[in-house]
Each structure stands twice: as structure tokens, then as C-alpha cells.
A and B are shown apart, each in its own frame.
Chain A
Amino acid sequence: MSSNNTAIRVENISKRYRIGSQEERHHTLVGSALKLAMQPLRNARNLRRLTKFAADEIESPDIVWALNDISFDVQRGEVIGIIGHNGAGKSTILKILSRITFPTNGRVVIKGRVGSLLEVGTGFHPELTGRENVYLNGTILGMSKTEVDRKFDEIVEFSGVAKFIDTPVKRYSSGMSVRLAFSVAAHLDPEILLVDEVLSVGDAGFQSKCIGKMQDVASQGRTVIFVSHVMQAIRNLCDRTIHIDQGRIINDGPTQQVIRNYLTGDSENQIAERVWGDKHTQPGNSGFRLLGLRILDSDSNTAQAFRTSESIRIQIEFELDKLIHEIGVGYDLFSADGSMVYRSYHYDDIPEQWPEIQLGYNRLECVIPAGMLNGGSYVIRLCVLQQDIKWILNGTPELSFDVEFDHSRSPFFFKLRRGVIAPVLEWKRSS
């Protein structure tokens, strides 16, 4: 990799914040009074300490390292996703790269004009008209007046609120103002674009428009760093993804692989089978003990990667120490973006079709038919229920698997479409 093709180089970035720490307490009246009198002094010290750190202050109860020694390079034209749990440090990275906040340690070199989109509609003022807000918001995002002049018609057209462009924004519906705001942001064309969770606003139609626009940006060879919780969006946009946890890089690599590791959590989950041998640690209660949970392919081999043209078998193995009245054994299927695809129990069909559950050892199996799921990552979470009211297991343990879309034989249905499921349905001419 030649270094002059590097758009962003992040070297050993750390960011320290001070959080409020527990104060000492006084139990006597004199102590409390004294404390009250000394409060201004203490306040002054605390306020000052917000920005002052002693040279050796690395470990202290009221210090948080939002980022801890982060390094990565981004090549020109790369589209990178950043994922991680809340508070992992994702947004802090964007804030440092967009210069909103300054790193405690480390160095960043950015080649190219940076546009950051941490929010849609920054600086929008309700009293101003749409037109005025476009100029204001545009310049806040780093455009010059002439740049806004040039793109103004395009922006208004994309937003679809042309009719109300000279109406104060406070008279807009919230959807309208978000559309206008996004439209301004979408016409920002810097070399490097930093995008935070902005796509999570607006309705589904608007979101798909945003994703489309982001794909355009990415395909124009611009460098994009994209932070999101929506795995599907990351999967659609990014070739490479960085997983951050507690301020450190956990994983940095091809999106598919990083997301799979992220969703399955710690590495012990990184298997298609979980077995509990020890009677005392087996999940469950009320006489229900889970022995094993596995994902199998049609040849009965445990597997984690499937194609949508294959069926997927979920196998649940458990022991009953006593018979449980009206037990329901099932699971929830979640897609990678966290939305639930469905819940299924063994007693969903007519009673004659129910698999028998006996005292002692049981093994149930549920088949996800071929041709139903869309490509993506999925998570299975176990649900065991008693009499439709009492949980024996609710959402744990879990397993995950990946599916690659391939089940359509149509020349026009060959690539990933949006949607949790991708059934090939029957179409016919109606008379």
C-alpha cells in the first residue's frame, strides 16, 4: 500500500474524559455545614479538573478512556464501517476525525476536505425560511455561499419541499424539515465523509433514499467512514468494518466477517453448536435443563454458513426432570440489524402435528425452509415457555449463522435486495 494513497491515518489515538466521582459524605451537622461552606472551593476545583489532568493521571476512578490507543489507516476511496455497542467509542472517533473534540494522545493525518454528518439539520432555525436554512446549514457544514448558490436548485428538488421553500421551517412537518436538512447534507461533496447514525431518522422510504444517496457517494470513489447500529446498512455500504469495544479495536477486516464476530459476541459463541455437559450449569429451571443447541445443514453437520437455497435445521436438546404442563419450546430469529424475523414454537400447528415431549431426554428440530431468508446474518435466541405465561428461557442462549443469497433462478433476481426475507413467490396472470 503506497502511503500517498492513504486518506486518513490514525496513529495511537486516545481520548480521556473525566466523569463525576463519588464525593465524601459527612454525617454531622458541623461537617455538613463545613462542607456547604467549602462547596465553592470544591466546585472550582472540580470544574477546573474537567480540563486539567495531572501528568501521571492515567488510572483514576473518575477517568474514562473513551478511546485507548486506536490506530488504523483508511485508503482513498474506501468505505469503512464502525460498529460497536453503545459507549464503545464509535462516535468519539468521528468526533476526533471531524475535529469537534481533540485527542488526549496520538496523531491523525487527513488528506482531503472533510465533511462530517453527525446530525441532520445542525443549526436549523425554526423562524427562518427553508431557503434561509439551506444557506445557514450549508455554511455550517463547511460549504461556501457560492457553493450553496450553485447547488441550491438541486438541493430543493431532492428535498421535495420546493413549494414551501419560502415558508418558515417552524410551519413544516417534522418529516419535511428532515428531508430538507438531509438534502443539504447529501449535496455536501467533500473528499472524505464522516457519517454517524443519521440514517436512523425518518421513515423507511426516506431511509432507503438516504442509503441510496450514500451508495452514490461511495461509488464516486470518495472516502467514507460510517458509524451505525444498523448492520444491514453497514453490510450494504462498507467493504471493511472496524469493531470497537471499550475504546479499543477488537476487529478490523472484511465487513461480513467482522459483523459475524460482533453478533456472536465472544469467541466461545463463534460456533454452530453449544453443549452443556455439567448438570449444574445447564440453562433452564423448573425441571427443564438445556443440553445442547446446534445449527445443522441437510447432511446433519453443524454449520454456520449457508446458502439460501439450502434448508437450515435448528436442533434443541434438553432434559425434563419432571413433566411441565403446556411447555412451549421455540426460538426467536433475529436479523443482523436487530429486527425480529419471527418466533416459532413446537406447538404452533394442530396438536396432532406436535412433536412429543417426554420426561427425560428430548431432541426437537425445526427446519427453516430453503428459499425463505434473505442473505445476511441471523441470530437464533432460545425461548422456552410454560403455560404461555412463565418464561423458562427467554432469549438465551443464542447462536448465529450466515446466509448467502442464491436461491432465485431468475436472471433478474440475483443480487441482494432489501428486506429481511426474500421469498420467491408465485405470480400468475389473473383473469
Chain B
Amino acid sequence: MNSSNSEDKSFVTVIDSSAKFGWWKYLQEVWFYRDLFYFLVWRDLKTRYAQSVLGIGWAIIQPLFSMLVFTIVFGNMARISSDGVPYAIFSFAALVPWTYFSGALTGAGGSLITARGIITKVYFPRIIVPLVAVAGKLWDFGIGLIVLFGMMAYFGFGLTSQMLLLPMVTILMILAASGIGMWVTALAIQYRDISYSLGFGIQLLMYASPVVYPTSMVPERFRLLYNLNPMTSVIESFRSILLSTNPIPWDGLAIGLFVSVLLSVSGAVYFIGMERKFADVV
């Protein structure tokens, strides 16, 4: 105990209304609170499906049922092209990353408001809160991925060396979700309209992403605009890597990466800039 006390003496906190923001100090603090991040993610997982019959089953029910409906409506009735693979797996390969993305955004959007009990009573770098929501949904994503591999085996898709690229695309997906998540969270705490419109905004965005249809249906002249949505290249890459529908869209990925990095950096800057005011407006 004595040793920890002598350590503490090096701790100097300066709260200065006119001082400039210290990025380095902030990052150190985020690192200092890493255990809190871990426990909050863990709490999120532990409590999400508590006292429910299906438990973790809920993680796959939503994409599974969406797949079913999409297959009937878009695959069988509207006969939308599915790049030569069965529509069911065509849509499920998109629904796994999409469900993650939409879940992460929804979770992040309400995260600070849900956590108001904590943020009005204790200090820690607030940026942990939306990132916990984004990280917590990775668990469901993993389970969805396992189901997806099961379906691939069923439809006769084998393992390929291309699949080594999947972690990279997954990181891009997380980056996109974090970037937009931080923006949405910081805005939602002051303007609740964001939380109200989030659900339907995500739904609209789904139709602006190649979830129910292939990218090939989008006219060439709109492709650049289309690719500004980082989830476009993420979903396309999932299909290319797992189902070998098309060559991997490297140019789309480059645009997606650029947009995601831009969103993440600007999102973090905006979030941290707002952070001092959170406890006052929440």
C-alpha cells in the first residue's frame, strides 16, 4: 500500500478553464482506465441476454430472420441478382457485418444517455462509453460469423487463402462503426433528435449499402458516391472474400478506409471537445 502511495505523489491534475486540451495526457488516461473499459464491455455482454430463454440465441435470430424475409421478398419475388450464389447466403454474408454495424451505432447512440448515472458521479475519459458499445457487439458478430461459416459449409463453399484478409476488413468495419458511433454519441447527448432518428436512419442506410442487392446493380457513375459509405466496401469484401462473387474491390476499400479514418479522427476530436460539457447537458 505504501508503494502505491508514493506512486500517487507523481499524479498532478491541472484543471484549467483557459488551458489547451492535452491529447497526450488524454491518451494516457484512456490507457489508465483500460480495466474499466474491459469491465464495461464484460458487463454489456453479461447483462445483455440475462433472464431470457434464448440467451445468446438472440445474437443470430435477427440476422437469420432478416435473411429469411429478404430471401423471400428480394430473392424469390423480386428476383434480384445475387452474383450467382444462392440468395440466402448472399444476403447473410452481408447481414453479419451489417447487423454488427447497426447494432454498434444504436448501442453507441444511446450509450452516454444510459450511462448518465455513472458520468454524473464519476470521472473517466468519456470516450470509453461509446467504444464499449462498439466493442461489445463484436461478440454477436463472432457468433454470426460462425453461423455464416456453417451456412457456407452447407452450400458447399470451401476455405480459401483469401479469407486471411477477413480480419483486415473486420478492422475497417470496426473503424467505420467507431467513427460514426462517436459522432452520433456526442451529438445525441445534446440533441436527442439524433437518438430518435437513429433507427430509421440506419434503416435507410441499409438500402444505401449492398445488403439486399449486389453493387453491380448500382450505375457506374454513382459508384464513387456509393463508396463514400464505408459499409459498401466492407460488405462487398465480405462477399468477395467468403463467396468469391467478385474480385476484392480494392479501390472501394481504399475509399472506405479513407472515409473511416476521417470519421474516426474527426469523431474523436468532436467527442473529446464536447466531453467537458457532457455532465452539464445529459
| A and B pair up | yes
Chain A: residues with CB nearer than 8 A to chain B?
A: 17, 44, 47-48, 50-51, 95-114, 116, 118-119, 122-123, 125, 127-128, 132, 135-136, 139-145, 147, 189-191
Nearest Cβ on chain A to B46's Cβ, whole angstroms: 6
Asked if residues B9 and A112 are in contact (CB atoms below 8 Å), the reply is yes
Nearest Cβ on chain A to B143's Cβ, whole angstroms: 20
Instruction: Report chain B residues within 8 Å CB of A123.
Output: 117-118, 122
Instruction: Report chain A residues within 8 Å CB of B118.
Output: 122-123, 140
Considering the chains assembled together, what is the distance between the CA atoms of A207 and B12 in angstroms?
Answer: 32
Q: Which of B14, B36, B39, B119 contacts A109 (CB 8 A)?
A: B14
Asked if residues B279 and A107 are in contact (CB atoms below 8 Å), the reply is no
Considering the chains assembled together, what is the distance between the CA atoms of A44 and B193 in angstroms?
Answer: 10
Asked if residues A103 and B8 are in contact (CB atoms below 8 Å), the reply is no
B190 within 8 A of A: yes
Asked if residues B8 and A17 are in contact (CB atoms below 8 Å), the reply is no
Q: Which of A51, A109, A111, A135 contacts B280 (CB 8 A)?
A: A51
B14-57 with Cβ < 8 A to chain A: 14-19, 33, 35-36, 38-40, 43, 46-47, 50-51
Considering the chains assembled together, what is the distance between the CA atoms of A145 and B14 in angstroms?
Answer: 26
Instruction: Report chain A residues within 8 Å CB of B50.
Output: 127
Considering the chains assembled together, what is the distance between the CA atoms of A105 and B15 in angstroms?
Answer: 10
Considering the chains assembled together, what is the distance between the CA atoms of A47 and B124 in angstroms?
Answer: 25
Considering the chains assembled together, what is the distance between the CA atoms of A111 and B8 in angstroms?
Answer: 8
Asked if residues B190 and A113 are in contact (CB atoms below 8 Å), the reply is no
Asked if residues A110 and B35 are in contact (CB atoms below 8 Å), the reply is no
Instruction: Report chain A residues within 8 Å CB of B4.
Output: 147, 189
Q: Which of B5, B17, B117, B122 contacts A98 (CB 8 A)?
A: B122
Asked if residues A100 and B122 are in contact (CB atoms below 8 Å), the reply is yes
Instruction: Report chain B residues within 8 Å CB of A99.
Output: 13, 15, 123
Given the known interface contacts A100-B123, A116-B122, the answer about A107 and B11 at a Cβ–Cβ threshold of 8 Å is no
B157 within 8 A of A: no
Given the known interface contacts A112-B8, A125-B47, A139-B36, the answer about A102 and B276 at a Cβ–Cβ threshold of 8 Å is yes
Considering the chains assembled together, what is the distance between the CA atoms of A205 and B156 in angstroms?
Answer: 69
Instruction: Report chain B residues within 8 Å CB of A103.
Output: 15, 17
Considering the chains assembled together, what is the distance between the CA atoms of A17 and B281 in angstroms?
Answer: 10
Q: Which of B14, B15, B39 contacts A135 (CB 8 A)?
A: B39
Nearest Cβ on chain A to B28's Cβ, whole angstroms: 14
B223 within 8 A of A: no
Asked if residues A113 and B8 are in contact (CB atoms below 8 Å), the reply is yes
A191, closest chain B residue (CB): B8
Nearest Cβ on chain B to A309's Cβ, whole angstroms: 43
Asked if residues A118 and B122 are in contact (CB atoms below 8 Å), the reply is yes
B277 within 8 A of A: yes
Asked if residues A50 and B11 are in contact (CB atoms below 8 Å), the reply is no
Instruction: Report chain B residues within 8 Å CB of A140.
Output: 36, 39, 118, 122, 124
Considering the chains assembled together, what is the distance between the CA atoms of A328 and B190 in angstroms?
Answer: 58
Nearest Cβ on chain A to B19's Cβ, whole angstroms: 8
Asked if residues B121 and A118 are in contact (CB atoms below 8 Å), the reply is yes
Asked if residues B13 and A47 are in contact (CB atoms below 8 Å), the reply is no
Asked if residues A142 and B124 are in contact (CB atoms below 8 Å), the reply is yes
Asked if residues A128 and B120 are in contact (CB atoms below 8 Å), the reply is no
Instruction: Report chain A residues within 8 Å CB of B9.
Output: 111-112, 191
Instruction: Report chain A residues within 8 Å CB of B119.
Output: 100
Chain B: residues with CB nearer than 8 A to chain A?
A: 1, 4-5, 8-9, 11-19, 33, 35-36, 38-40, 43, 46-47, 50-51, 117-124, 190-191, 274, 276-277, 279-281
Asked if residues B43 and A128 are in contact (CB atoms below 8 Å), the reply is yes
Asked if residues B14 and A107 are in contact (CB atoms below 8 Å), the reply is yes
B47, closest chain A residue (CB): A127
A-B contact pairs, 19 of them (CB 8 A): A50-B277, A51-B274, A51-B281, A98-B122, A100-B279, A101-B280, A103-B15, A107-B16, A108-B15, A109-B14, A110-B15, A111-B11, A112-B8, A116-B121, A127-B47, A139-B36, A140-B39, A189-B4, A189-B5
Asked if residues A110 and B17 are in contact (CB atoms below 8 Å), the reply is no
Asked if residues B117 and A122 are in contact (CB atoms below 8 Å), the reply is yes
A148, closest chain B residue (CB): B35
A51, closest chain B residue (CB): B277
Considering the chains assembled together, what is the distance between the CA atoms of A113 and B32 in angstroms?
Answer: 12
Asked if residues A127 and B51 are in contact (CB atoms below 8 Å), the reply is yes
Q: Which of A104, A136, A144 contacts B43 (CB 8 A)?
A: A136
Asked if residues B121 and A119 are in contact (CB atoms below 8 Å), the reply is yes
Instruction: Report chain B residues within 8 Å CB of A145.
Output: 35, 38-39
| Among B39, B40, B117, B121, residue most surrounded by chain A Cβ atoms (within 10 Å) | B121
Asked if residues A106 and B1 are in contact (CB atoms below 8 Å), the reply is no
Nearest Cβ on chain B to A238's Cβ, whole angstroms: 22
Asked if residues A47 and B191 are in contact (CB atoms below 8 Å), the reply is yes
Asked if residues B280 and A110 are in contact (CB atoms below 8 Å), the reply is no
Given the known interface contacts A50-B190, A191-B9, the answer about A141 and B122 at a Cβ–Cβ threshold of 8 Å is yes
Considering the chains assembled together, what is the distance between the CA atoms of A191 and B279 in angstroms?
Answer: 24
Asked if residues A112 and B11 are in contact (CB atoms below 8 Å), the reply is yes
Asked if residues A108 and B14 are in contact (CB atoms below 8 Å), the reply is yes
Asked if residues A190 and B8 are in contact (CB atoms below 8 Å), the reply is yes
Asked if residues A105 and B13 are in contact (CB atoms below 8 Å), the reply is no
Asked if residues A100 and B121 are in contact (CB atoms below 8 Å), the reply is yes
| Among B19, B123, B277, residue most surrounded by chain A Cβ atoms (within 10 Å) | B123
Considering the chains assembled together, what is the distance between the CA atoms of A96 and B276 in angstroms?
Answer: 11
A11, closest chain B residue (CB): B16
Q: Which of A44, A50, A110, A147 contacts B13 (CB 8 A)?
A: A110
Asked if residues A122 and B12 are in contact (CB atoms below 8 Å), the reply is no
Beyond A112-B9, A112-B11: 15 further Cβ-contacts under 8 Å? A17-B280, A47-B190, A99-B123, A100-B122, A101-B280, A105-B17, A107-B18, A116-B123, A118-B122, A123-B122, A127-B47, A132-B46, A135-B39, A139-B33, A139-B39
Nearest Cβ on chain B to A222's Cβ, whole angstroms: 9
Considering the chains assembled together, what is the distance between the CA atoms of A376 and B40 in angstroms?
Answer: 46
Instruction: Report chain B residues within 8 Å CB of A113.
Output: 8, 11
Asked if residues B122 and A122 are in contact (CB atoms below 8 Å), the reply is yes
Instruction: Report chain A residues within 8 Å CB of B43.
Output: 125, 128, 132, 136
Instruction: Report chain A residues within 8 Å CB of B120.
Output: 100
Nearest Cβ on chain A to B163's Cβ, whole angstroms: 34
Considering the chains assembled together, what is the distance between the CA atoms of A229 and B160 in angstroms?
Answer: 69
Considering the chains assembled together, what is the distance between the CA atoms of A142 and B124 in angstroms?
Answer: 8
